[in-house]
Structure 1
Amino acid sequence: MDITEITRQTLDLRPLRKGPGHKYDHGHALVLSGGAGRSGAARMAARGALRIGAGAVTLGVPPAAQLEVAMQVTAVMLQRVPDGAALTEALKDRRISALCLGPGLGLGDRAYSMVAAALAAPRLVLDADAITILAKDDALRAKLHPGAVLTPHGGEFARLAPDLAEMAKDDRADAKAEAAERAAARLNCVLLLKGPETVIAAPDGRTLRHRATEDRATPWLATAGAGDVLSGFITGLLARGIAPPPEAAALATYLHAEAARAHGPGLIAEDLPELLPQVLRQLGI
């Protein structure tokens, strides 16, 4: 198994720089929100997509959450997306270049219809509730494709691939990477298995690994919403079209950890997008 370690030296950061053009030249991300009282996760993901350079970001919300979300956002745009049929219609807008769903989405009929419609998008990130829905439905999993990035933590991975769950927890060298690699090939998508050692596996066999351990440990990322921001970072990079999905996921993972290291103790998820400009400046972007 050939694993590429994700470090400053192995990453090409040059595409992060923006050239000339208007906002839609730099991508338009659509992030789907859950209902009233459940929009915070999607709002954090949307903020992450905006901070990482997507030219435009829209939150797709059900009518019941529209007022709640409108009171909390400024640069992020708002669009009513009540169900899967409405999402299918929204995706006809050719300016939308990446889609994110799952954070705070819920597990009801609306959420199921959203996941079913979302799988037609060529570039998308599925996290949290979207992963739980996929884990329960063979027909939906069969529609996954290499432009889709799944970002499970250990528990979600166990639901997606229960036969590989113990291997993913194994402390032996490369066991977690092997589990992620097998799952990515089976699911035909990019799989980012989160943790202090994050593994990104592509269906074509490419495997990347980021170690946030020892002197580069980021224990402050063990806070509610940090994974939602990571999903937003990946979505923003996919929207920009500056790297294939595995490399976009790797770049987002590295920047996510660097933002946490820049803050240190006391970090909360909302801090991460706001730390990104500092990190990018330090990296010479």
Structure 2
Amino acid sequence: MSGPSLPDWRDSFPWPGPETHKHARGRLGVVSGKATQTGAARLAARAGLRIGAGLVRVLCPPDAAAVIAPALEAIMLTSFGSPEALAHEARGMDSVVIGPAAGVGDATTTNLRALAETGAALVIDADGLTSFEYFPDELFEVLDRDDVLTPHEGEFRRLFPDLLEVGREAAAAEAARRAGAVVLLKGPATVIAAPDGRIAVNGNGTPWLATAGAGDVLAGMIGGLVAQRMDSFDAARAAAWLHAEAARRFGPGVIAEDLPESLPAVLAALYERRA
């Protein structure tokens, strides 16, 4: 593979074996926003499927189902009418992505709390983070070490307003300790930190990722790897690297929709060079 050298997480990448079936490859859920805000969840779901999750299901409010259904093929769709119904549908999922265009407010905070009771690892992005801006401790109380927060700097400041002044790496490390979860702080040099003190800086960032929806794709990729039972810190590191490599390979003109479609070539090259 041309470009940046391969990092060490490749040794734990969840390649399927001869006896693998779709349920063994993990079950990923992605929570959609309302009917006018479904694109982000569809991007995340497709990315999760491309990265190898065996089964992906979009979970949506009832008004969004008719909008989403025509846009899905291998990805399944289930609607929910209450936080309790969402939790019921998410039971049995290995991971759930919540936040991309989910809407900022009580509905998202209530849905997230319900999901935290299901045992699925959570990947929390965008509106799922901003919804807790004024009471971040209530978010941290329901997290565990398998969960992943994926803020850009603006979202990071909403949850950790006192930390960025100490530098991105130290800020991410303290945020992970405070939240009790993995934190992926997006930027030109994305920082990934685990609550046990592990920290990494992604070294192959590219400016082509400065495009709407790219973060939704990254959240779906992390969710897809966590669904395959990859360690959440390694999953976040791997997804950040693969995400950037997919954008680098496509180059000028890349948009978020292109990223999942660029992953097979990146994964094929990685597979050929596996240990």
- TM-score tier after normalising by the smaller chain length: over 0.9
1:84 aligns with 2:83: yes
Aligned residues of 2:182 and 2:194 also touching (Cα < 8 A): yes
> Which residue among 105, 111, 114 is the counterpart of 1:114?
111
- Is the deviation greater in 101-110 or in 148-157? 101-110
> Identity, % of aligned pairs?
46
- For residues 226-282 of structure 1, give each alpha carbon's deviation from its aligned partner in whole angstroms, at most 9, with x where no partner exists: 0000000000001111x2100010011110011011100000000000000011112
Q: Which letter does structure 2 place at the counterpart of 1:134?
A: F
- 1:284 — aligned with what? 271
The DSSP-based 3-state class of the residue aligned with 1:104 is: coil
1:270 aligns with 2:269: no
Distance 1:184 1:14 in 2: 22
Aligned residues of 1:134 and 1:141 also touching (Cα < 8 A): no
Structure 2: tracts of 5 or more residues without a match: none
- For residues 171-211 of structure 1, give each alpha carbon's deviation from its aligned partner in whole angstroms, at most 9, with x where no partner exists: xxxx3111100111011110000011011100111101112
The DSSP-based 3-state class of the residue aligned with 2:103 is: coil
- 1:187 — aligned with what? 179
- For residues 118-156 of structure 1, give each alpha carbon's deviation from its aligned partner in whole angstroms, at most 9, with x where no partner exists: 222341100000001233223232222111100000000
Q: Which letter does structure 2 place at the counterpart of 1:130?
A: G
Superposition CA RMSD, Å: 1.5
The DSSP-based 3-state class of the residue aligned with 1:69 is: helix
Distance 2:239 2:199 in 1: 15
1:210 aligns with 2:202: yes
- 2:207 — aligned with what? 219
- 2:101 — aligned with what? 104
Question: Counterparts of 1:52-67 in structure 2 under 5 Å?
Answer: 52-67=51-66
Q: Which letter does structure 2 place at the counterpart of 1:254?
A: W
- Is the deviation greater in 155-164 or in 12-21? 12-21
Distance 1:114 1:104 in 2: 14
Aligned residues of 1:185 and 1:204 also touching (Cα < 8 A): yes
Q: TM-score, normalised by structure 2?
A: 0.92
The DSSP-based 3-state class of the residue aligned with 2:13 is: helix
- 1:141 — aligned with what? 140
Structure 1: tracts of 5 or more residues without a match: 1-5, 168-174
Distance 1:9 1:166 in 2: 29
Shift of 1:7: 5.0
- 2:128 — aligned with what? 130
> Which residue among 221, 224, 230 is the counterpart of 1:233?
221
- 2:168 — aligned with what? 176
What number of residue pairs does the alignment pair up? 266
Distance 1:143 1:284 in 2: 36
The DSSP-based 3-state class of the residue aligned with 1:197 is: coil
Q: TM-score, normalised by structure 1?
A: 0.89
Aligned residues of 1:7 and 1:254 also touching (Cα < 8 A): no
